[in-house]
Chain A
Amino acid sequence: DAKTTQPTSMDCAEGRAANLPCNHSTISGNEYVYWYRQIHSQGPQYIIHGLKNNETNEMASLIITEDRKSSTLILPHATLRDTAVYYCIVRVGGDSWGKLQFGAGTQVVVTP
């Protein structure tokens, strides 16, 4: 699976959009981009995933560049409960292992 690079930390004001970047320059054509988050030692929580097209769900939007070498997770209206470590993961969709290789992630702190 391709490796990802994320900033170590970022702050966001409550009510504003949080834009979390992720670089995955060695991503392969059959690898998806997944985002999970972990709120202080709780179990990681799935947010969203995509292959090429931008995706949106009730939690967030995922913007993938045309060359697929980077992506951005957007939390449209950050709340204090969005304070968490956010993990960007690339992996082959439907692979027989189902392994998620978590990196260090981005610590996001939402402030009032």
Chain B
Amino acid sequence: EAQVTQNPRYLITVTGKKLTVTCSQNMNHEYMSWYRQDPGLGLRQIYYSMNVEVTDKGDVPEGYKVSRKEKRNFPLILESPSPNQTSLYFCASSLLTGDEQYFGPGTRLTVT
């Protein structure tokens, strides 16, 4: 089944403890992206990648890192999480940048 998977789905952590949220797609998509969703602010793009080893900042990249060493994986790294990064995170992928995007199920992160 074609899908985008994220792990973990739920995470509660403490300020400053490094964490990684994994994202994987099995559709051989070139384009991948991370969004965060907050009440009243909607979905905002954090980082995106147009292919392996090609990444760029979205609208809200501060406090996040990403890497794209393989086509299928696009992990989101929070080196030193802070409470303002408490949010619902979505990974998305598409075959090409202009195509419809497929979204993962989301990761709900709480930083205390």
B103 interface neighbour in A44, A49, A93, Cβ under 8 Å: A44
Question: A99: which B residues are within 8 A, CB to CB?
Answer: 33, 45, 48, 58-59
Place the interface of chain B in its size category.
20 to 34
**B97 with A96: CB separation less than 8 A:** yes
Question: Quick one: which of A94, A97, A98, A102 contacts B42, CB cutoff 8 A?
Answer: A102
Is A17 engaged at the interface, CB distance under 8 Å to the other chain? no
Tell me which residues from 47 to 81 in chain A have a Cβ below 8 Å from any Cβ of chain B.
49
Task: Say whether A96 contacts B50, CB under 8 Å.
Answer: yes
Complex contact A98–B94 (CB within 8 A)? yes
A: which residues have CB within 8 A of B? 34, 41-46, 49, 92-100, 102-105
Question: In the complex, which residue of chain A has the Cβ closest to the Cβ of B98?
Answer: A94
Inter-chain contact A104/B94, CB cutoff 8 Å: no
A41 contacts which chain B residues (CB < 8 A)? 88, 106
Instruction: Decide if B61 is an interface residue (CB 8 Å cutoff).
Output: no
Q: How far is the CA of A43 from the CA of B106 in the complex (A)?
A: 6
CA distance A74 to B77 in the complex (A): 40
Whether the pair B4, A98 counts as a contact (CB closer than 8 A) is no
Does B96 make an interface contact (CB < 8 A)?
Answer: yes
How far, in Å, is B106 (CB) from chain A's closest CB?
Answer: 6
Whole-angstrom CA separation of A98 from B98 in the bound complex: 5
Known: A41-B106, A43-B105, A44-B103. A100 touches B43 (CB 8 A): yes
Within B70-112, the residues touching A (CB, 8 Å) are 88, 90, 92, 94, 96-98, 100-106
A49, B88: Cα distance in complex, Å: 26
